[in-house]
Every structure is written in structure tokens, then in C-alpha cells.
Amino acid sequence: MSSWLFQLKPVGIYAKKYEWAARPSTPSGGSLHLDLHPPPMQIGGDCSLWIRSATLDFDDGLWECQVTASDFTTQDALTSQPVRLVVRVAPQRPRLEYEGTHVPPGHNITVDSGSLATAKCVSHYGNPPATLKWFLGDQEIEPIHLQTNITEPDNPRTWSATSVVQLTAMRERHGDILRCLAFHESYTAKSVPVEARLDIKYAPTIRLIGSPEIDLEEDKDALILRCVADANPPASIVWRRAGRSEIASLQETLQLRPVGRRDAGLYTCQAQNSVGTSEQLSVQLDVKYPPKILSAGPDRLTTAPFISHGSKYVERGHEPRLVIDNVTYDYQGEYECRAANYINGQERVAISEPVSLQVVGAPQILRLHPSMHTVLTRRGDAATLTFIVCADPRPQRVAWEWGSLRLDAGSATDRFRADDLLQDAREDCYLSTLHIHHTNEHDARPYYLVVENERGSDRHAIQLNVEEPLEMSYLLGIAGGCLAAIFILICLCIYALRVKKCCFKGKNWKLFVYFLFFSQ
């Protein structure tokens, strides 16, 4: 006869709870099968036990099977070795503790830099106890000793697992994640984590961003200096200027938009938090500024003046006072006083308000450079003759003259056309142009431009030269050379015959002359 004992106490056979496995039946959910077979030499059967709907309170513990003797005289009774039946119970979610205080999920562990931080991970009410592991970031770290497992005081059938880790708080670990991972077969995901962010407090260190590497120019450049502090908790920033008692700024950024000459000086920044104070960093600010013309006008010039022609400047003098003798239309325009210095290798120029000079008088045909007094063209090509005329008031009469001919501006005759006056880029100056089509050798001559207004007149010439085309000139040159050579030879022969120094006699000289002519 066989029987089962639980924790050394006999267990009866109860339907739907404890049943013999040899009885045909379908096991229900949550059943456990404890097998016990007698040795082959004994007569008996299967003593295995079905434990249905196992629970922690009634089934977790030591089980053993006993078989009574077949006869009181044989003494063949049997007792099995105890078997530990563990009914798994998922532990609660692990929790972190720091300095005896629970750290809720998502909260920080705050510790001063250089200190030793001790954190505890506890897993309650599990059976068997959970296995605890520590991670700092992705790196596994070892606890200070093996985890301890003790039964829960209020539920001795369950376990409390505890693991302790120690870390040296360094600023490099600020923001790292400390994670405790509890492993248990009853967890759905086999493991449950709990973690906290390391909040390492440390004194500030600072660095300067935006220190000027080149000269700053007044009213042009902006200065943005940043005093960047690395600190926990965040540090307060103080900007000061040497020689002044007031604070320049309490912000991380010191802005001067734009800089002025009064902003020049030595600036320092420093950061402070509850842990400590940073060193002082300083930057020297030097502000450059271009020259400024205080006044300019007639008889008040203070620097070298210039006259503007379009985008170019014509230098007229370097003295504080500009005196112009024999004024012509070339001097008409706006005069500016310019002063310059160099900042960062670049010229900075101050320009006064323009002073206008107006020239009034008789027309003036601008005399060109001597090399431009002549226009050269080929026979058959067109020629264009142009003069620049300046006059105030505007010319009333403009004409081109050559030989006995005269052609007014805006008119044409035969191969000649004179354009109307066109405004030049310069004030009170105009372009007068004569066009000649299909030029020939008779067109080579001087052409005069005559200009008149109510204050007077002017007249000036430009020479037109007409060349023969290159091919014809070359052929004519060759032909002329050949004829000249023949003529010289004939003259030499005649001279030789007359002085009787030639060896030809009778008709021989006539044959020689004939050969000379026709061989050419």
C-alpha cells in the first residue's frame, strides 16, 4: 500500500486535487505529476500522484512517497527521497532605493561629484527569488557582494531578493542610466527592469565662444560673446568690465549690436552654482573706427578732394584747399573730400557730401590724345568720326565741314551722314558723329567739327586716311618693281652700245634687246 506525505504529513486522495496517476483521467490545468515507481523486484504498481491546481499555500514544499510492507515479516517497506515542489510566483516589480529612500521609476539619483553612491535593488514576494543584475548604460557592473534572498516576514513561502551596488560619482557619468534587471521565469518577458538617471552635481567649468579674431569696426560689426558653463545644477553667469563697478550682463550671452568705441575694454565672465565657482575668463575688446569728415564745402576742404566720373574718381589735389586755374568743362562735376584708414587690412573711407561745380560758357570740343587725331580705314569700308563736345548752354548749331562742303548735325547727303547730338555720360557733354560709307581715296582729308552756342564757338579737325586693300597694293608694287628693272636694263644697254663697250655687233644687239623685252 502506498501513500504521499507533504512536509512529513500524510496527504489523502481527493478528487480534482490529489489523484493517483494510474487512474485513467484527463489532467486539468495547473496539474503536477509526481512519479514514483517501485523497484522491478517488488510487486506493485504506479504510485505517481497528480496534483491539480497547484497553489503556493498547499503544494509548495517537500513531498515524499511511502510504500508499506507486503507482509509484516518481510520488512520491505519503502520511503522515497524528499522532492522539492516549487510553485512559481511572479515577484513584484523590482524597486530602487538610494540612501534608504525609494526612487520611483523615471526619477534621478542625485549625488555630489567625487562621492560614493550606494544603490539597492529589491524584489519582493517571488517564488523562487528573482535573480538581480546591474547595468550602467549598456555595461553590466558587479554588485559589492552576492545578492541576498530571505523569506518575506508576512509570507514566509515567498522571497525577498536584494542586491547592492556602489559607484564613484564622476561628472563624466552625469546623465548615465543605472538599471536593475530582475529575472524570473514567471515574468511574461522573463525580466523586468527598473532604472534611474544619475544626477551628478559638480562645480562649473566655462569656455568662451565668439572671441573676436579680427578688429571690430564701430557701428558695423556686432559682438556676441558666450560664456558657456558646464555645471550641475545650472550655474549663474556674471559678465564684468574692468574698471567699472556695474555688472555688464547676467546672461550667458553678452551682445553689443553694433559695437562702439566706448565698448572697448577688458571683459571677464565667471560661473557659480551650489557646488562651487569657476575660474575667470577674460577677453580684450578693441574697437576700430574709420575716419569721419566733420565738414566739407567751398573753401572748407580738409582732406584730399576727388571729382567723380561715373564709377571712377579723378584725383584733383591733396591739399586742404583746392584751387582750380583756367577752368574748363573737364572740371565740371561733383567734388568729394575723402579720408581713409585701414581696418583688418581693408581700406575704410569717409566721403563728404558732394560739392557741385558747374561750368558755363562757350562750347569746347575736347581735344583728343594725338594718337586719336587720325582715323584709318580701307578703301570701300565705312568710316566713323566722333568728337565729344561740352557746352552750357547746349550748342545751338553743330556742323561738319570738309573742303567746300558743310553738313549740319541730323542731316545726310550722298555717302555722308551727320548724327544729332547724343548725351554723353558727363554732364553738359555730347557726342557728335559723322558717318562716311564706301570710302575712297578722295575722302582722305581733315574733317572739321564746328560748334556754336550763345556764348561762343569752337572748331577742331580729325584726319581721315584711306588705304588701298592689301592685295592690290602688293600687286602694284611688284609690277612697278619689274618695270623699273626693265627700264634700268634698257638704259644700260643703250649706254654700252654708244660707248662701244658692248661685244655685240651688227644685228646682235637688236636680238639682245628683243630677248630682253619678251623675256619679261
Condensed to tens digits (0 to 9), the pLDDT of residues 74-133 reads 877 888 888 888 888 899 999 999 988 999 988 999 999 999 999 999 999 999 999 999
Tell me the residue range of the domain where 460 lies.
361-467
Tell me the average pLDDT across 369-386.
Answer: 84
Instruction: Give the count of domains, the chain.
Output: 5
Domain identity same for 181 and 216: no
Gap between the Cα atoms of 20 and 446, Å rounded:
144
CB atoms within 10 A of CB 48: 17
Question: What percentage of the chain carries pLDDT values higher than 70?
Answer: 84
Q: Which residues pair with 397 in a beta bridge?
A: 452
Domain identity same for 130 and 119: yes
Averaged pLDDT score across all residues of the chain? 84
Domain identity same for 162 and 182: yes
Query: What per-residue confidence (pLDDT) applies to 19?
Result: 83
Query: What per-residue confidence (pLDDT) applies to 300?
Result: 39
The distance from CA 49 to its chain's CA centroid, rounded to whole angstroms, is 79
Domain identity same for 65 and 137: no
CB atoms within 10 A of CB 392: 19
Q: Is residue 489 part of a domain?
A: no
Q: Is residue 461 part of a domain?
A: yes
- Range in 130-134, 303-307, 461-465 with the lowest mean pLDDT: 303-307
Gap between the Cα atoms of 335 and 357, Å rounded:
7
Query: What per-residue confidence (pLDDT) applies to 341?
Result: 85
Residue 383 has pLDDT above 60, yes or no: yes
Letter string b/e over residues 276-298, b meaning 16 or more CB atoms within 10 A of that residue's CB:
eebeebebebebbbbeebeebee
Q: Helix-strand-coil percent breakdown of the chain, rounded to 5?
A: 10, 45, 40
Domain identity same for 145 and 170: yes
Query: What per-residue confidence (pLDDT) applies to 106?
Result: 83
- Range in 68-72, 140-144, 253-257 with the lowest mean pLDDT: 68-72
Query: What per-residue confidence (pLDDT) applies to 385?
Result: 93
What is the pTM for the complete model shown? Answer: 0.50
Give burial (CB, 10 Å; 0-12/13-18/19+) of 183.
middle
- CATH assignment of the domain containing 441: 2.60.40.10
Q: Is residue 75 part of a domain?
A: yes
Gap between the Cα atoms of 225 and 257, Å rounded:
11
Q: Is residue 175 part of a domain?
A: yes
CB atoms within 10 A of CB 415: 14
Domain identity same for 380 and 295: no
Residue 488 parent element (H or E): helix 470-498
Print the SS3 string covering 293-328.
Answer: CCCCCCCCCCCCEEEEECCEEEECCCCCCCCCCCCC
Domain identity same for 128 and 220: no
The distance from CA 289 to its chain's CA centroid, rounded to whole angstroms, is 29
Query: What per-residue confidence (pLDDT) applies to 463?
Result: 92
Q: Is residue 13 part of a domain?
A: yes
Q: Is residue 337 part of a domain?
A: yes
Do residues 127 and 88 make contact, with C-beta atoms less than 8 angstroms apart? yes
Tell me the average pLDDT across 450-460.
Answer: 93
Task: Please tell me which residue, 159 or 331, carries the higher pLDDT value.
Answer: 159
